[in-house]
Every structure is written in structure tokens, then in C-alpha cells.
Amino acid sequence: MTNQSKNVCVIGSGPSGLVAARELKREGHKVVVLEQNHDIGGQWLYDPNMIKFNTKVLYVGPLNYGVPSEDLKWVVRSKEKKREEVEQVFDAVVVATGHHSKPRFPCMQGMDTWRRKQMHSHIYRSPEPFRGEIVVVVGNSYSGQEISMELVKAAKELHKIWYTVNIDTLEEDGSAIFMDGSIIIADTILYCTGYNYSFPFLDTKGMVVVDDNRVGPLYEHTLPPLLAPPLSFIGIPKKILGLPFFESQGKWIAQLLSGKKALPSCEEMMKSIEEFYHSKEVVGIPKRFTHEIGAIGFEYCDKSAKYVGLPKLQEWRKELCILSLVNSCVNLETYRDSWNDDEKLQEALQSPYFTQLGVELEDPSLQNSN
Ligand SMILES: Cc1cc2nc3c(=O)[nH]c(=O)nc-3n(C[C@H](O)[C@H](O)[C@H](O)COP(=O)(O)OP(=O)(O)OC[C@H]3O[C@@H](n4cnc5c(N)ncnc54)[C@H](O)[C@@H]3O)c2cc1C
């Protein structure tokens, strides 16, 4: 069995980038992580190694595109703050740039000419600026619910709309006209309508596109059949137990690059992707939800873990996840400050997963040697 070592660039040092980097390193690859921020953690920011901070990736594209080659390499152009742009060539690139930074806006008639305040939840910080206002909140997922709970105490009136199709037109005078004919003259429309996948730096010559929030074609939400494994994406799926899943994805990519694992043929991968799309379509799931794993999240994590020889999700982990989800649904106002999973947490802390953590940290092969 081959065990090739590749020169790999991971873009992003959030949870998925960090896990990918660790798995690549464990597999014997040489890894550079480029991160535009000053520290690791992505949305959770927290502690460094093998990472070049303050380095934004501006361009990633195939080297010598069009020249037939067995071994497609990637050009990565990046810029460190106050420095010149740098161009490097890598054997592989792992895109781990997250998907909660480009706000998604709905399309509504009159949006462009409506003169009052329209904003996305991404830039919402506190209810104070909305004091005394009539606010329409569009979207009823986590951010819509939580922001509404804050706004209700400050706004003069709060109107929650589940779906944008409920609004017919936005008029220049500030009226929002609804499908049932009712009218609200609002001061602000706040869109809690989620995020779009976006890879502004990535040039795949059209081999990977984002179409109505479907990134594709991607085999198992990870690998573009025409460009894999030298190009891969980690952390694309939504509504999944992130960290264990990223770990399986990272291991899989690392093993594909070292030659320990092989991919099906391009045709087989494309067929599997088409079948997956079709399975969504027949049950009426819109394209934009392609990467929402949702209810089958545990099974999907287990399937991915099994494939790379990792254990199934521990029962305590699933139970903790369910307990916190239920708590957040049932006790929307208090779930951050009071919870009922102490017993389960103790059980988790007594499990080998935590009791053997130190053993792994003392393993010199896992220390940073960059
Ligand atoms: C609305 C919302 C929903 C969520 N849903 C889930 C969920 O279902 N499951 C779950 O586990 N967690 C969820 N989370 C939590 C969180 O998003 C994830 O746990 C985790 O942060 C995702 O990790 P990531 O590494 O993929 O992305 P991020 O944490 O976003 O990290 C991406 C990193 O890439 C860097 N980057 C981006 N572009 C560039 C560039 N051009 N050059 C260099 N660096 C770049 C960024 O600076 C960042 O550090 C959610 C969060 C939000 C806000």
C-alpha cells in the first residue's frame, strides 16, 4: 500500500480546518494553514501552531490548467497584512472557510427601492437601536427566534414572518404589503434568513459551482469528482454534530492524499451525487437545503466515521446533543443559563474519550513539528 506525503494547504483555522490539519499531519502530510484572522477557532476563536495568521487567501486555482498532467497542483495566492502578495504551489488544497459569513437575503418585490432600514441578522448586535420601532423579522430559525426574543422588549411592534413568500411587495413609503392584503408600515426589516456558501478566492474553471446554495458537484459533500482528492471541502454539511464529522472528513481526505484510500471512479461519484440530488427532489427538499443533514445527522456521522476506522458517536454525545437541542427549543429564554445535563456530562467526563485525552497529547508524533 502506498503512503505518499503531500504538501497541503488548508484554508481556514476554524474547527473544520484545525481538525483537517491534524488529520493530514497524522497521516504524514506537510501542512500549511492560512488564516485571515489573528488567531484560530473560526467562529469560536481560541490557540495556535503551524498556522500563518493574518493571511487572507485571495486566489486558489489549478497550476498549468489545460496542460495534461497526471498530477494536478494548485496555486495559492495569499496576502499577509502589510506585506506583498505571496504565491505558493501545493499538491492539495483543503477549503475549510466555513459558511456563516456571507448573509443570504431573500428576493422580494420592492426590496431595492424600500427606503427604510433593511439589515441581516449577521450585523445585529443588540435590541437598543430598534427601541420604539416597528420591526418586521423575516425568518424563524435560531437567529430569528432569538433576536425576536430580545426585540420584543425594545420594539414598539414586532412582526414575525416565517417565510418571505408571505410578503407580496415592499412599497417606497415603508409599507410591507402581505399576501392576505394586510399592510404594516415598518421602520425596519430584519432578515434572519441564513447564509450563502461563498468561495470568492476559488477558481475551479467551473468544475465546482454554488447554485442556489448547493455547492457542487461534491461527492459526500466533500470531494469534487473532477478535481479530487487534490481539492476538497471540509465543513460543508449543516445541522450535523460538527466536530466528530469534521474529524472523519479530515481523516478521509488525509488518507486519500496518502494513497491509503481510493475514490470510486469519476462516473461512479457523479452517479452517486445525481442519485442524492434526486432523492432530495422527490421528497420536495429545495436545492438550497442540499447540505442540511438534519435528522439523519447521527447516522451520517457514524457512516463517515466507520469508513475511516473511527468509532461510532458515543451514546453520551448523542444524548447531550439531544438534551441541549430540546432545552433550547423548550426554554428559549433560559437555555443558555440553565440546563439539565449535568449527570450526562459527568458520564461523558468519566468515559475513555476524556480520561485518555492526556495519553494522546503526550504522543510525540502528534506534536507540532513544523
Ligand atoms: C447560524 C449558525 C449555524 C450553525 N450551525 C451549526 C451546526 O449545525 N453544527 C455545528 O456543529 N455547528 C454549527 N454552528 C457553529 C459553527 O459554525 C461551527 O461549529 C464551526 O464554527 C464551523 O467551523 P468551520 O471551521 O467550518 O468554520 P468557521 O468557524 O467559520 O471557520 C472558518 C475560518 O476560515 C477563515 N477564512 C475564511 N475565508 C478565508 C480566506 N479567504 N483566507 C483565509 N482564511 C479564511 C475564517 O477567518 C475562519 O477562521 C453554527 C453557527 C452559526 C452562526
**pLDDT, mean of residues 139-153:** 91
pLDDT at position 369 is 34
Beta carbons within 10 angstroms of residue 199's beta carbon: 19
Beta strands per DSSP E along 162-244: 167-170, 175-178, 183-185, 188-191, 209-211, 214-216, 231-233
User: Cβ(51) to ligand 1 under 6 A?
Assistant: no
Mean pLDDT of 187-196: 94
Q: Which stretch, 34-48, 119-133, 171-185, 285-299, has highest mean pLDDT? A: 119-133
Mean pLDDT in residue range 228-252 = 93
Residue 130 alpha carbon to ligand 1 centre in Å: 28
At 80, list the grid cell. 499577509
Residue type, 310: L
Ligand 1 neighbour 148 (Cβ under 6 A): no
97 φ, ψ (degrees, to nearest 5):
-95, 10
Homologous superfamily, domain 7-99+196-307: FAD/NAD(P)-binding domain (3.50.50.60)
240 lines ligand 1 (CB under 6 A): yes
Instruction: Look at residue 50 in the predicted model and tell me its pLDDT.
Output: 76
> Within 13 Å and on the Cβ side, how many CA atoms surround 193?
23
Q: What average pLDDT does this structure show over 234-246?
A: 91
Mean pLDDT of 270-277: 98
Confidence (pLDDT) at 367: 41
Q: How far apart are CA 234 and CA 269, in angstroms?
A: 17
- The whole-number pLDDT of residue 368 equals 38
Confidence label for 46 from pLDDT (cuts 50, 70 and 90): low
Check whether 210 has a pLDDT greater than 60.
yes
**Better pLDDT: 41 or 17:** 17
Distant-in-sequence, close-in-space partners of 271: CB < 8 Å, separation ≥ 6: none
Tell me the sheet residues that pair with 134: 157
Distances (CA, A) of 335 to 146, 331, 340: 11, 5, 9
Q: Which residue has the cell 486555482?
A: 61
Tell me the pLDDT tens digit for each residue of 161-183: 876 667 888 998 888 888 888 89
Helix (H) or strand (E) holding 75: strand 74-80
CATH class of the domain comprising 105-193:
alpha beta
Q: Can you tell me the distance from the alpha carbon of 211 to that of 232, in angstroms, rounded to the nearest whole number?
A: 18
Per-residue pLDDT reduced to its tens digit, 97-129: 999 989 999 888 899 888 899 999 999 999 999
How many Cα neighbours within 13 Å face the side chain of 28?
Answer: 10
Which atom of ligand 1 lies closest to the CA of 239?
8
Q: Is the CB of 98 under 6 A from ligand 1?
A: yes
**Average pLDDT rounded to a whole number, residues 233-262:** 93
244 lines ligand 1 (CB under 6 A): no
Residue 265 pLDDT grade (very low, low, confident, very high; cuts 50, 70, 90): very high
Q: Strands 188-191, 117-120: parallel, antiparallel or unpaired by DSSP?
A: parallel
Q: Residue 43: CB within 6 Å of ligand 1?
A: yes
Mean pLDDT score of the chain, rounded to an integer? 89
- Which pLDDT does position 370 carry in this prediction? 31
Confidence category of residue 1, pLDDT binned at 50, 70, 90 = low
Q: What pLDDT was estimated at residue 273?
A: 98
Please give the distance, rounded to the nearest whole angstrom, from the Cα atom of residue 239 to the centre of ligand 1: 13
By alpha-carbon position, which residue is closest to atom 10 of ligand 1? 242
pLDDT at 268 exceeding the cut of 90: yes
Ligand 1 within 6 A of CB of 57 = yes
Distance CA 332, CA 105 (A): 25
∠ CA 102-85-19, nearest 5°, is 55
So what's the pLDDT on residue 173? 86
Nearest CA to ligand 1 atom 53: 100
Q: Does the CB atom of residue 19 touch ligand 1 within 6 A?
A: no
Over residues 30-42, the mean pLDDT reads 91
How is residue 126 annotated by DSSP? Answer: -
In this structure, the number of other CB atoms found within 10 A of the CB of residue 45 comes to: 12
pLDDT at 360 over 60: no
